[in-house]
């Protein structure tokens, strides 16, 4: 048995169940969804067969009309394969079929859980809470299709039922401590809901991670733009992701860093001010800061560092070219940065170094090395600005359960202690937050002469 993530209307599960077709023709399923079945037979089956009986168990079966839409012969094992749409299936049979597919999907997984309480909680989550969620999403999808609901009401209903199921997911995560089982549960959850949630182009891109890592410049640009890109149920999936507290905090973070950078530049007495942006991404904050300017009063040198060549190329094309603004694009693997790397000497003397979001993705060992590199690259009075989600205020459930975005959870105290331990002689000048209070801005400096 295997469940696939794809862009069909309904989830498809590879499962073998007996099927009776027409008058006395027996075969077995190869895969099933709520709208169709694939089945195999040792003998050819008439293509005009119109009735099927799907045998769930000795006591339970589903009968409905079918329409065979494709067929092929597999020469390797001499089997005949067919695909058929399910027609005029009763609502109660649809619910039964969905429950069966979910049950089969998690059955093997549930058997691996030795703790009875944990196993019971997983089963309740999928067989009751996720099943109810899917039923509500299907209802919204159908009413949208047949003009039975306004976009605003659909958004309201979609947000409400999605909030509810993610609250249940958070409860599951807090009550079940087995990491391997939780990882499996999240995978099954994404598989089961994928055929509605990933109709949202923004959510699908966030899940696919086309640049190979979560939160790439393209996804962050979409969060900044704050405009759903999809239609029908996909519109509401996108809208939910963009309205999630994580996305709101990311947009707030951009606004806050613009103020911080501007203040550092404006208050500096230097005729030339050097800035290093580590993991610069799309540089949206800089683009917005300088977009309406034709010149600036002092020279600003922006050193923009990222490992993603596509992100650097995007920034190169979109950042304004104005008098007094020097742009340097640096492609370098952030994981290789250290105070002893060749870049440490090359980039020494930065008046401001900042990084947005990167720290959330790095384990302590790597993060300490990066912080040490940054502090070593500062000028005598230079400042380092790092952001981090405060785990006490921020629980990015939707990015995790929908898109498999993993963050290292840290409190304000844990993050600031990590900065203190990264290098001797560091002190923290200020700790600020963006408007929603979920993301920290820690401003650190070296003690003079250290």
Q: pLDDT of 306-363, one tens digit each?
A: 999 999 999 999 999 999 999 999 999 887 776 666 777 788 999 999 999 999 999 9
**Which residue from 103, 87, 108 is spatially nearest to 34, judged by alpha carbons?**
87
DSSP state of 362: S
| 34 and 115 housed in the same domain | no
Question: What pLDDT, in 10s, does the model give residues 238-287?
Answer: 999 999 999 999 999 999 999 999 999 999 999 999 999 999 999 999 99
| 262 and 338 housed in the same domain | yes
Contacts of 363 (CB under 8 A, 6+ apart): 408
What pTM does this model have?
A: 0.84
Lowest mean pLDDT segment, chosen from 23-27, 143-147, 223-227: 23-27
Instruction: For the beta carbon of residue 142, count every other beta carbon within 10 angstroms.
Output: 12
| 227 and 297 housed in the same domain | no
For the sheet containing 350-355, what is the strand order?
323-331, 295-306, 272-278, 350-355, 378-389, 439-446, 426-433
Question: What pLDDT, in 10s, does the model give residues 394-432?
Answer: 888 999 999 999 999 999 999 999 999 999 999 999 999
The pLDDT of residue 339 is 61
Average pLDDT along the chain: 89
Which position has the token pair 């530049």? 265
| 288 and 418 housed in the same domain | yes
**68 has pLDDT over 60:** yes
pLDDT band at 387 (very low <50, low <70, confident <90, very high): very high
Domain stop point among 213, 228, 243? 243
Burial of 179 (0-12, 13-18, 19+ CB in 10 A): exposed
Q: Are 21 and 49 in contact (CB under 8 A)?
A: yes
If you average pLDDT over residues 43-68, what whole number do you get?
87
| 406 and 259 housed in the same domain | yes
Q: What is the CATH number of the domain that holds 338?
A: 3.40.50.150
> 389 to each of 249, 415, 444, how far by Cα in Å?
9, 9, 17
| 78 and 99 housed in the same domain | no
Q: State how far the Cα of 396 lies from the Cα of 435, in Å rounded to an integer.
A: 16
Cβ contacts of 209-215, under 8 Å, gap ≥ 24: 211/308, 211/310, 211/311, 213/361, 214/361, 214/399, 214/403, 214/404, 214/405, 214/406, 215/357, 215/361, 215/405
DSSP state of 129: I
**442 has pLDDT over 90:** yes
Question: What pLDDT, in 10s, does the model give residues 86-120?
Answer: 888 887 787 777 777 777 767 766 777 777 888 88
| 115 and 239 housed in the same domain | yes
**228 has pLDDT over 50:** yes
Lowest mean pLDDT segment, chosen from 158-162, 175-179, 306-310, 368-372: 175-179
The pLDDT of residue 345 is 78
If you average pLDDT over residues 289-317, what whole number do you get?
94
**Which residue from 365, 413, 369, 371 is spatially nearest to 390, judged by alpha carbons?**
413
Tell whether the torsion through CA atoms of 223, 226, 228 and 233 is positive or negative. positive
Helix (H, G, I), strand (E, B) or coil at 326: strand
Enter the tokens of residue 204: 């699908």
Domain stop point among 28, 57, 89? 89
Q: State how far the Cα of 272 lies from the Cα of 324, in Å rounded to an integer.
A: 9
| 64 and 151 housed in the same domain | no
Q: State how far the Cα of 124 lies from the Cα of 412, in Å rounded to an integer.
A: 35
Q: State how far the Cα of 350 lies from the Cα of 300, in Å rounded to an integer.
A: 11
Helix (H, G, I), strand (E, B) or coil at 387: strand
| 261 and 370 housed in the same domain | yes
pLDDT band at 2 (very low <50, low <70, confident <90, very high): very low
Q: State how far the Cα of 445 lies from the Cα of 201, in Å rounded to an integer.
A: 41
Enter the tokens of residue 358: 């990167």
The total number of structural domains in the chain stands at 3
pLDDT band at 174 (very low <50, low <70, confident <90, very high): confident
Instruction: For the beta carbon of residue 94, count every other beta carbon within 10 angstroms.
Output: 18
The pLDDT of residue 12 is 66
Percentage above 70 pLDDT, the chain = 95
Q: Are 396 and 405 in contact (CB under 8 A)?
A: yes
| 317 and 330 housed in the same domain | yes
pLDDT band at 70 (very low <50, low <70, confident <90, very high): very high
| 120 and 229 housed in the same domain | yes
Q: Are 308 and 221 in contact (CB under 8 A)?
A: no
| 115 and 168 housed in the same domain | yes
Domain stop point among 39, 59, 89? 89
pLDDT band at 5 (very low <50, low <70, confident <90, very high): very low
Q: What is the CATH number of the domain that holds 58?
A: 2.40.10.220
**Which residue from 174, 204, 56, 176 is spatially nearest to 110, judged by alpha carbons?**
176
Contacts of 183 (CB under 8 A, 6+ apart): none
The pLDDT of residue 244 is 95
| Structural domain boundaries enclosing 68 | 2-89
């Amino acid at each position: 048995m295997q469940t696939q993530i794809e862009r069909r209307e309904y989830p498809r599960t590879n499962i073998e169940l007996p099927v009776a077709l027409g008058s006395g023709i027996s075969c077995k399923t190869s895969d099933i969804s709520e709208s169709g079945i694939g089945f195999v037979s040792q003998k050819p089956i008439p293509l005009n067969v119109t009735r099927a009986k799907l045998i769930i168990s000795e006591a339970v079966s589903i009968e409905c009309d079918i329409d065979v839409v494709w067929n092929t012969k597999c020469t390797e094992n001499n089997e005949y394969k067919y695909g058929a749409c399910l027609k005029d299936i009763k609502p109660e049979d649809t619910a039964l079929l969905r429950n069966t597919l979910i049950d089969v999907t998690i059955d093997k997984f549930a058997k691996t859980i030795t703790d009875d309480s944990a196993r019971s909680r997983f089963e309740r989550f999928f067989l009751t809470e996720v099943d109810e969620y899917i039923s509500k999403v299907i209802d919204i999808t159908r009413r949208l299709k047949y003009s039975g609901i306004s976009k605003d009401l659909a958004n309201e209903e979609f947000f409400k039922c999605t909030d509810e199921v993610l609250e249940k997911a958070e409860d599951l995560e807090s009550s079940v401590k087995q990491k391997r089982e939780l990882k499996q549960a999240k995978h099954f959850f994404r598989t089961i809901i994928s055929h509605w949630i990933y109709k949202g182009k923004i959510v699908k891109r966030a899940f696919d991670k086309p640049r190979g890592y979560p939160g790439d410049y393209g996804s962050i640009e979409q969060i900044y733009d704050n405009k759903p890109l999809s239609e029908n149920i996909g519109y509401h999936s996108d809208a939910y992701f963009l309205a999630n507290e994580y996305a709101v905090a990311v947009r707030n973070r951009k606004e806050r860093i613009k103020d911080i950078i501007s203040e550092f530049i404006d208050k500096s007495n230097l005729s030339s001010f050097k800035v290093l942006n580590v993991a610069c991404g799309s540089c949206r904050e800089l683009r917005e800061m300088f977009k309406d300017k034709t010149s600036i009063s002092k020279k600003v040198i922006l050193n923009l560092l990222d490992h993603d060549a596509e992100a650097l190329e995007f920034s190169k094309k979109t950042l304004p070219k104005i008098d007094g603004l020097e742009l340097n694009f640096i492609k370098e693997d952030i994981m290789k940065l250290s105070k002893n790397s060749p870049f440490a000497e090359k980039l020494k003397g930065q008046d401001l170094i900042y990084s947005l979001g990167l720290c959330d993705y790095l384990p302590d060992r790597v993060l300490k090395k990066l912080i040490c590199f940054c502090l070593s690259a500062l000028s005598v009075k230079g400042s380092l600005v790092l952001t981090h989600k405060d785990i006490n205020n921020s629980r990015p459930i939707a990015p995790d359960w929908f898109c498999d975005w993993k963050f290292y959870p840290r409190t304000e105290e844990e993050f600031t202690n990590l900065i203190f331990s990264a290098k001797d002689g560091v002190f923290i000048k200020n700790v600020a937050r963006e408007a929603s209070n979920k993301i920290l801005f820690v401003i650190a400096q070296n003690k003079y002469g250290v």
